[in-house]
Chain A
Amino acid sequence: MFAFILRRLAVAVPTLLLLIVLSFLLMHLAPGGPFTQERALPPQVLANLNAKYGLDDPLWRQIWNYVYGIVVHFDFGPSFVYPDRTVNQLIADGFPVTLTYGTLAFLAAVLVGVTLGTLAAIRQNGWLDYLAVGISIGAQVLPNFVMAPLLVLVLTLWLGWLPGGGWSFSDPSFWIMPVIALSTSYMASIARITRSSMLEVLGSNHIRTARAKGMPERRVILRHALRPAMLPVVSYLGPVFVSMITGSVVIDIYFSTGGIGKAFVDSALNRDYAVMMGVTILVGALTILFNLVVDILYAWIDPKIRY
């Protein structure tokens, strides 16, 4: 197991370095520097600015400094637009918020999705099954940026139950809509995947054996069917994680929750490359880390995998 984790890390680390170098080169290639403004700066000022941010060094040295700063000091450098703030500060402001509702949304999607899918498979062709299938088909076309306005329309404008935006760590009523908007479509996909893999497992020989020896149905499902049925779901968790992080950008903008998505879009509109790169690299690192966890989980669940 340990060797397996090491081998996966050996792939993950170069991927991350590649991501950092690529995004740096992209920034370097982009027309116009970070200080290009409508009114051109005097050449001397521009030269001083470039010197301050180290942009007059040779390219390889700039890359080296950037990578070194991130890897050794976890320092993404200063923001180019707000000179008094560093990228680290901007990320540190938003990250706890994103992490809170992101984790809740992820758990909601997995727990509700798996439960719904399992129930649908057990009661195949019953009303619960049709309901679950209906929901999962409908939710396919309701991505987060469609769910968010619809939720606000119903829960805030018509019913007046929930605040239409903003964030507070102490008041869960601010959390509800972001979590629902972010999790719905993934919940539906997870329910669909669980249902079909559960149906397949329930028709297999070892389940028939378990039933034949008189094991209670509940135990058959929970102990013998659920674990193998989870394999396709686990391999879907990686993509879900990536899409949820991406979706959090919409949540942050639409609900003004103030997560890292806001820092990202603001910097995109301001052409603040340093912040954009910082967020991209952070998200990339999280993705790679998460995929590693999923791989290990997969190997743990599936006894057929040899590592």
Chain B
Amino acid sequence: MVIEHDKMRSLAARMTQPEVRGRSPWADARRRFLRNKAAMTGLVILLLVALFAIFGGQIAVWSNEELDFSVMGQVATMGQPSLENGHYFGTDDLGRDLFARTVQGTQISLLVGIVGAGIAVIVGTLYGAVAGYVGGRTDQIMMRTVDILMSIPYMFVLILLLVMFGRSMTMLFLGIGLISWLDMARIVRGQTLSLKNREFIEAARATGVSTWRIIIRHIVPNLLGVVAVYATLLVPLMILTESFISFLGLGVQEPLTSWGALISEGAGTMSYGTLWQLAFPLFFFVITLFGFFFVGDGLRDALDPKDR
């Protein structure tokens, strides 16, 4: 035996020890996000709002369409929030349960926000990635089109669309989705331009991978961080857009409702002293927007290596 016994043992021990694991950029980002108090608060708020939207219907005593005839006509005195008659948030001026209506409004507003942002993510990412990666004249034409579309006052066009093709949820999704991807396309294109000359893309090209496959398999996955940040910030913007249209009475139609429609109703009746009709929808609207903005900012701080 030339090698010492002890040395041999210590080497063996080291080999069986678990290796110190390197931290991936994603783990770093997760750690930064978890330490960000505002972002975590926002996340908790969003979870609570989501629970409210999903399970609120089970708690509600009244459905959103029933009229409570015992309070009808005297909503200002009898319709206030109360635990006894089951109207936790009071009633609206027709005697419908505001709790059930708020649950429904929350569901629809969140749905519009998430679907709108989803369309923006899919269309915007693909459009921006193609424009950035292909480059040249294609890029010129594609981005000029975006420029032109952006200089159009989209809210007016959206309302024009809604009026001409009938007000429906599908049309609302389509209209909001139609305009929401423009910013996303610009951001993604910028990122793609900085990615496309990196070595791994060059390697893929050298081994004869097709353009479409490079975009899907190599460019898009590397954009996920940026896209996630902007998608989170897009959701509240979509909610704002929908609420704006519904506030004007041009968005979702009765018996469906949304935060914008509820705020509009509450704002119209507050001079009769029925303040709860404004307060509850407004409360959910405000905390959800706060939640999304905080989470979005937190994600940006966590994922964007520039601002460290």
Q: Which residues of B contact A143 (CB under 8 A)?
A: 240, 243-244
The reply to whether the CB of B47 lies closer than 8 angstroms to some CB of chain A is no
- Whole-angstrom distance between the alpha carbons of A152 and B153 in the complex? 28
Q: Is A45 an interface residue (CB 8 A)?
A: no
Summarize A's interface: helix, strand, loop or mixed: helix
B263, A19: Cβ atoms closer than 8 Å: no
Given A140-B293, A145-B244, A273-B164, CB of A280 within 8 Å of CB of B157: yes
Encode B280-308 as 1/0 by CB contact (under 8 A) with A: 00100110011001000000000000000
B165 part of interface (Cβ distance < 8 Å)? yes
Known: A145-B263, A146-B282, A284-B153. A253 touches B164 (CB 8 A): no
Q: How far is the CB of B244 from chain A (nearest CB, A)?
A: 6
- List residues of chain A with CB within 8 A of the CB of B249: 265, 269
Given known contacts A153-B270, A268-B159, A291-B151, is B165 in contact with A250 (CB within 8 Å)? no
Interface flag for B267 (CB, 8 Å): yes
A23 B157 Cβ-Cβ under 8 A: yes
Q: Is B266 in contact with A149, judged by CB distance below 8 angstroms?
A: yes
Contact residues in A for B248 (Cβ distance below 8 Å): 249-250, 253, 265
A273 vs B153: C-alpha distance in the bound complex, in angstroms? Answer: 17
With a cutoff of 8 Å between Cβ atoms, the chain A residues found around residue B282 in the complex are 146
* Residues of chain B from 131 to 158 with CB closer than 8 A to chain A in the complex: 147-148, 151-153, 155-157
Taking the complex as formed, is A31 at the interface, i.e. its CB lies under 8 A from any CB of chain B? Answer: yes
Number of A residues near B (Cβ < 8 Å) is 45
Q: Which residue of A lies closest to B267 (CB)?
A: A149
Chain A residues whose CB sits within 8 angstroms of the CB of B285 once the complex forms: 141, 146
Q: Given A141-B286, A145-B243, A149-B267 in contact, is the A23-B160 Cβ separation under 8 Å? A: yes
| Cross-interface CB contact of B153 among A153, A265, A287, cutoff 8 Å | A287
Q: How far is the CB of B201 from the nearest CB of chain A, in Å?
A: 31
A65 to chain B, nearest CB (A): 20
Chain B proximity of A25: nearest CB distance (Å): 11
Inter-subunit contact A276/B163 (CB<8 Å): yes
Structural contact, A145 and B266, CB atoms closer than 8 A: no
* Contact yes or no, A146 B263, CB < 8 A: yes
Decide if A157 touches B271 in the complex (CB within 8 Å).
yes
A283: nearest chain-B partner, CB-CB: B153
Kindly state whether residue B60 has any CB partner on chain A within 8 Å.
no
A271 within 8 Å of B (CB atoms): yes
Q: In the docked arrangement, what's the CA distance between A233 and B275, Å? A: 38
Distance from A74 Cβ to chain B, minimum over Cβ atoms (Å): 19
Q: Mark B243-271, 1 if CB is under 8 A from A, else 0.
A: 11001111000000000100110110011
Q: Is A30 among interface residues, defined by CB-CB distance under 8 A?
A: yes
B50 at the interface (CB under 8 A from A): no
Among candidates B156, B164, B243, residue contacting A30 with C-beta atoms closer than 8 Å: B164
Interface residues of A in 256-285 (CB under 8 A from B): 264-265, 268-269, 271, 273, 276-277, 279-280, 283-284
- B161: Cβ under 8 A from any A Cβ: yes
- Name the interface residues of B37-72: CB closer than 8 Å to any CB of A: none
Do A30 and B247 touch (CB < 8 A)?
no
Measured between alpha carbons, how far is A246 from B275 in the docked complex, in Å? 27
Distance to closest chain A CB from B14 (angstroms): 48
Contact B267–A254 (Cβ < 8 Å): yes
Is A229 located at the chain interface by the 8 A CB criterion? Answer: no
A149 adjacent to B270 (CB under 8 Å): yes
A192 to B248, CA, bound (A): 29
How far apart sit A56 and B156, CA to CA, in the bound complex (Å)?
A: 27
With A15-B148, A279-B156 already in contact, the answer to whether A149 and B263 are too (CB < 8 A) is: yes
A242: interface (CB < 8 Å): yes
CB distance from B139 to the nearest CB of A (A): 17
The reply to whether B267 and A288 form a contact with Cβ atoms under 8 Å apart is no
In Å, the complex CA distance between A122 and B244 comes to 36
- Tell me, yes or no, whether A27 is within 8 Å of chain B by CB: yes
Task: Give chain B residues whose Cβ lies under 8 Å from the Cβ of A193.
Answer: none
A280 to B248, CA, bound (A): 16
A27: chain B residues at CB < 8 Å are 164
Q: List 28 A-B contacts (CB under 8 A).
A: A15-B151, A18-B148, A19-B152, A26-B164, A30-B164, A30-B165, A31-B164, A140-B290, A141-B286, A141-B293, A145-B244, A145-B264, A146-B286, A148-B267, A149-B266, A153-B275, A153-B278, A246-B244, A249-B155, A264-B156, A264-B159, A265-B248, A268-B250, A271-B164, A276-B156, A280-B157, A280-B160, A287-B152
In the complex, besides A23-B160, A143-B244, 15 extra interface pairs with C-beta distance below 8 angstroms are A26-B161, A31-B165, A141-B293, A145-B243, A146-B263, A245-B153, A246-B153, A246-B155, A246-B156, A268-B163, A269-B250, A271-B164, A280-B157, A284-B153, A284-B156
| B residues with CB within 8 A of A | 147-148, 151-153, 155-157, 159-166, 240, 243-244, 247-250, 260, 263-264, 266-267, 270-271, 275, 278, 282, 285-286, 289-290, 293
